[in-house]
């Protein structure tokens, strides 16, 4: 399973200056390695003979599976471990007393910190709920999941966004990879978001706010940061109201004004919000200010409080305007000067601050739906608006081309030997779960033969024969 790269030589010099024999440095491509792996790792000896998470890691297991639910997030403020439900089949012997994911991740992180030369350790999160139905981080959407992964593992986490191809085993020692499996809608939602009528605003600090409607009556937002490379990192995603055709303005103090039309009537409404350093927005109540359609809004000076709103009449082609004065303390706007205007409606999907410019749109990235939200900047081509890609996403049989296209990790039941074999030969990293029968060993073997019985003699021998790395 190991390959020697002849160009990498360690050259030792003798005291007389003569060259000693060169020592080749071993390099193991990730996709060529086999790792001890467990299935439903949290279930320990309740379901199988695995022992605690720490015992599994001590024994050389380098793939841990945790099934997680959002159903208790409102009270637990965390995802809950369990099989058919939170707490189901969880073995607490030698493991955390709680079912909170964070406690289990900390056990893994502490073990990793104490064993800095371990082979790359994959933590697979099997998503048992649809995370896209969670309206905010407080409900357990993937914003919260990303925050938790970064908070627990810090710089130890090997990020998917930085690894279009996997590193060698040696270069990734001491690192932890997060892998998302389970609910297909959640995995797709981690890779792209869909919506209609996207609008955007950017300020001089590189703070970005995007708003859009779902097409079904809900209003959603993303907040992000324009980076030094001109690309936007999207940090936070949440539902904030109901309505359609939203627009947004953002000043240099992080204050924003959002306008939209009601989803059921031709009435216009606005919010005022305060954008925090973490991307969270503190909103005022929604307030009606007029009737009409296609509302737009802009600050007339980047650091000021003066606004201009332009919309179209609900009964014709006439455009109307309002002048607004923002009250930052009250998070409200005083609207005055309502009048007809011959000005065209300003574009809501483009915003600029200095030389930085952001444009949002909808369109397929080649595999995603036509209503996929996209963003480009003055320095970066259009990309999907999506969660920061901290975790890798697993592809499984029948998942479709969008999840398959860029997937580095594949997974299937160990009984699906043809899928495992074909994926391995194609150079993917493959998991086979419920690997509880030595007769399911393939050639080549799954990279992660995830078993419920890692201490069984046949499994120990199989891993030794495969030179499983640890």
Q: Residue 419: its pLDDT value, please?
A: 98
Between 142-153 and 101-114, two packed helices, what is the crossing angle to 10 degrees? 30
Residues 439 and 369 in one domain: no
> 2 vs 58, which has greater pLDDT?
58
Q: Which of 384, 419, 444 is the last residue of a domain?
A: 384
Instruction: Show which of 364, 384, 404 is a domain's final residue.
Output: 384
Q: What is the CATH number of the domain that holds 140?
A: 3.20.20.190
Residue 367 Cα to chain centre, angstroms: 18
Which whole number is the average pLDDT over 343-355? 97
Element (H, E) at 57: helix 53-58
In a domain, 9, yes or no: no
Q: Is residue 163 part of a domain?
A: yes
Which domain-ending residue is among 384, 404, 428?
384
- In-domain check, residue 143: yes
Q: Are 224 and 275 in contact (CB under 8 A)?
A: no
378 and 393: one domain?
A: no
Whether 4 is in a domain gets the answer no
Q: pLDDT band for position 302 (50/70/90)? A: confident
Which burial class, exposed, middle or buried, applies to 194 when counting CB atoms under 10 A from its CB (0-12, 13-18, 19+)? buried
Q: In which band, very low, low, confident or very high, does the pLDDT at 10 lie, cut at 50, 70 and 90?
A: very low
Pairing of strands 429-433, 409-413: parallel
Q: What residue numbers bound the domain in which 166 lies? A: 30-189+389-466
Residues 401 and 376 grouped into a single domain: no
Q: What is the mean pLDDT of residues 199-221?
A: 98
Same domain, 206 and 129: no
C-alpha neighbours within 13 Å on the C-beta side of residue 15: 0
Q: Is 331 strand, coil or helix?
A: coil
Residue 410 lies in a domain: yes
> Does residue 309 share a domain with residue 433?
no
Q: What percent of the chain has pLDDT over 90?
A: 93
In this structure, are residues 450 and 434 in contact, taking their beta carbons and an 8 Å threshold? yes
Cis? peptide before 446, omega within 30° of 0:
no
Region of poorest pLDDT, from 179-183, 301-305, 457-461, 463-467: 301-305
**Averaged pLDDT for residues 37-52:** 97
Residue 17 pLDDT more than 50?
Answer: no
pLDDT tens for residues 388-429? 999 999 999 999 999 999 999 999 999 999 999 999 999 999
pLDDT band at 25 (very low <50, low <70, confident <90, very high): low
- Mark whether 197 and 342 lie in a shared domain: yes
Q: Give the C-alpha separation, 71 to 130, whole Å.
A: 10
Exposed, middle or buried by CB within 10 Å (0-12, 13-18, 19+), for 385? buried
Query: Are 228 and 377 part of one and the same domain?
Result: yes
Indicate the DSSP class of residue 13. B
Residues 103 and 170 in one domain: yes
Q: Which residues pair with 26 in a beta bridge?
A: 4
User: Which phi and psi angles does 53 have, rounded to 5°?
Assistant: -60, -45
* Percent of the chain residues topping a pLDDT of 70: 95
pLDDT per position as a tens digit, 117-149: 999 999 999 999 999 999 999 999 999 999 999
Q: Are residues 336 and 433 in the same domain?
A: no
Q: Kindly state whether residues 204 and 291 are assigned to the same domain.
A: yes
The two tokens of residue 243 are 């309505």
Mean pLDDT of 223-228: 98
Check whether 386 has a pLDDT greater than 90: yes
251 and 230 inside one domain: yes
Q: Cα(337)–Cα(196) distance, rounded to whole angstroms?
A: 31
For 193, half-sphere exposure in the C-beta direction (CA atoms, 13 angstrom radius) is 33
Is 408 inside any structural domain?
yes
Q: Kindly state the average pLDDT of the residues 237-248.
A: 98
Task: Answer whether residue 22 is part of any domain.
Answer: no
pTM summary value: 0.93
Is 13 inside any structural domain?
no
Same-domain status, 360 and 281: yes
Per-residue confidence (pLDDT) for residue 369, from 0 to 100: 97
What integer best gives the mean pLDDT of the chain? 94
How many domains, the chain? 2
Q: Could you give the CA distance from residue 315 to residue 388 in angstroms, rounded to a whole number?
A: 42
**Cβ–Cβ < 8 Å for 311, 262:** no
Residues present in the chain in total = 470
pLDDT for 104 = 98
């Amino acid at each position: 399973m190991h390959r020697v790269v002849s160009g990498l030589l360690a050259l030792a010099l003798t005291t007389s200056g003569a060259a000693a024999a060169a020592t080749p440095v071993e390099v193991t491509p990730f996709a060529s390695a086999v790792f001890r792996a467990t299935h439903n790792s949290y279930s320990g000896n309740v379901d199988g003979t695995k022992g605690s998470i720490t015992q599994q890691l001590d024994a050389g297991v380098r793939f841990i599976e945790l099934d997680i639910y959002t159903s208790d997030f409102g009270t637990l403020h965390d995802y809950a471990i369990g099989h058919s439900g939170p707490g189901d089949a969880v073995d607490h012997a030698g493991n955390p007393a709680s079912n909170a994911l964070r406690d289990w991740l900390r056990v893994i992180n502490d073990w990793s910190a104490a064993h800095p030369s371990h082979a790359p350790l994959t933590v697979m999160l099997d998503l048992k709920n649809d995370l896209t139905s969670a309206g905010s981080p407080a409900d357990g959407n993937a914003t919260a999941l990303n925050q938790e992964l970064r908070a627990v593992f810090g710089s130890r986490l090997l990020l998917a966004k930085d690894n279009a191809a996997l590193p060698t085993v040696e270069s990734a020692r001491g690192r932890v990879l997060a892998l998302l499996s389970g609910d297909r809608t959640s995995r797709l939602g981690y890779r792209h978001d869909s919506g209609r009528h996207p609008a955007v605003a950017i300020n001089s600090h590189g703070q970005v706010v995007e708003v859009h409607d779902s097409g079904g009556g809900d209003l959603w937002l993303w907040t992000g940061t324009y980076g030094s490379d001109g690309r936007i990192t999207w940090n936070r995603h949440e539902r904030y109201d109901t309505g359609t055709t939203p627009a947004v303005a953002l000043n240099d103090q992080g204050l924003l004004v959002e306008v939209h039309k009601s989803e059921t009537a031709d009435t216009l409404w606005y919010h005022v919000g305060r954008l925090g350093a973490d991307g969270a927005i503190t909103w005022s109540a929604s307030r009606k200010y007029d009737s009409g359609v296609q509302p737009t809004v802009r600050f007339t000076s980047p650091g000021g409080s003066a606004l201009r709103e332009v919309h179209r009449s609900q009964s014709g082609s006439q455009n109307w305007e309002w002048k607004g004065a923002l009250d930052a303390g009250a998070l409200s706007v005083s609207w005055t000067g309502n009048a007809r205007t011959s000005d065209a409606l300003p574009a809501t999907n483009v915003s600029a601050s200095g030389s930085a410019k952001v444009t949002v749109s909808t369109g397929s990235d080649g595999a995603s739906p036509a209503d996929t939200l996209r963003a480009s900047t003055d320095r970066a081509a259009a990309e999907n608006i999506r969660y920061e890609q901290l975790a890798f996403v697993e592809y499984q049989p029948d998942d479709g081309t969008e999840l398959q296209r860029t997937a580095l990790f594949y997974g299937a039941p160990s009984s699906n030997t043809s899928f495992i074999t074909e994926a391995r030969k194609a150079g993917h990293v493959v998991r086979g779960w419920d690997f509880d029968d030595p007769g399911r060993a393939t050639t080549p073997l799954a990279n992660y033969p995830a078993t419920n019985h890692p201490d069984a003699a046949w499994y120990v021998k199989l891993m030794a024969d495969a030179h499983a790395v640890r």
